[in-house]
Amino acid sequence: MGKSQINLLINKYDDLFSSFDAREYDAKSISDDFLNQCRKACLDKKAGDIELLIMVNDKIRSRVTEEIIKKRLKGHFSKHYSMIKSDRARIIRKSLIFITLGLIFSVLTTLTHYYMDEPKSLVTSMILIILEPASWFFLWEGLSILLFEPSKIKSELEFYNKMSNADILFESHNILL
């Protein structure tokens, strides 16, 4: 079975880039409109199975410009995929640190109750007042981060994974826009 195609028709190469960015194509910011169209088009497609076909009017086609744009798009997609993947790893690391601290504080609270409960002293009470809420906070906050934060960036991670593995092709068209 062939690759799934995302077909985009553009008037000029600048349609792929931000109109506010005056830099050359190899450094120019990618257009939000272009990225949103790609997001919509690749929702139901599998990573490694996508072909991005950009159709350009035959009169303005430039193979040199297209190679620069392909490299820029690939770089953009790969860079953002790596950044979001790193963010996800950082989130998971942070949650595991919180969970570990929560468990450590829980053990310390238990040991304080067990060994220092009799006779009650001001110091024991202060230690327990600090450790008990700290253990609950770190444990539940760590679990919350682990369960909910990665899912917030899941769709972006999937999108950039798909697009970083996509084949980017240009094709001529003669449609008047």
What backbone phi and psi angles, to 5 degrees, belong to 45? -105, 150
pLDDT digits (tens, 9 = 90+) for 17-60: 998 988 898 899 999 999 999 999 988 888 778 999 999 988 88
pLDDT digits (tens, 9 = 90+) for 83-104: 999 999 999 999 999 999 999 9
- Mean pLDDT across the chain, nearest whole number? 90
In which band, very low, low, confident or very high, does the pLDDT at 74 lie, cut at 50, 70 and 90? Answer: very high
The number of CA neighbours under 13 Å toward the Cβ of 124 is 12
Distance CA 37, CA 101 (A): 43
Mean pLDDT of 100-127: 86
Residue extents of the structural domains in the chain: 4-79+162-173, 84-156
